[in-house]
């Protein structure tokens, strides 16, 4: 077993998960900058807060 030592494996997994989370957050920022998406979300919040 040449690669039996797994020390540092958890750290690498955390680094990969962190990079994926940052990439997802960046994608959300790009999407939220869209006027169309912003309008849809604003309308959704207004309808949710309106009492009829």
Give residue-wise pLDDT tens across range 15-32.
Answer: 999 999 999 999 989 988
DSSP letter (8 states) at residue 33: T
The CA-based dihedral angle spanning residues 9, 26, 48, 44, taken in that order and rounded to the nearest 10 degrees: -140
Domain count of the fold of the chain: 1
**How would residue 46 be classed by pLDDT, with cut points 50, 70 and 90?**
very high
* CA separation for the pair 47, 39 (Å, rounded): 12
Residue 52: per-residue pLDDT: 76
Closest by CA position to 32, among listed 18, 42, 21: 42
Going from the C-alpha of 15 to that of each of 5, 8, 23, 49, the distances in angstroms are 19, 11, 12, 40
52: in domain: no
23: in domain: yes
Give the global pTM.
Answer: 0.56
Residue 3: per-residue pLDDT: 61
Residue 5: per-residue pLDDT: 64
Residue 42: which domain range? 6-47
- pLDDT of 1 higher than 60: no
């Amino acid at each position: 077993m040449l690669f039996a030592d797994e020390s540092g494996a958890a750290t690498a997994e955390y680094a990969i998960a962190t990079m994926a989370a940052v990439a997802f957050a960046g994608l959300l920022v790009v999407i939220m900058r869209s006027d169309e998406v912003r309008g849809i979300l604003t309308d959704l919040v207004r309808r949710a807060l309106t009492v009829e």
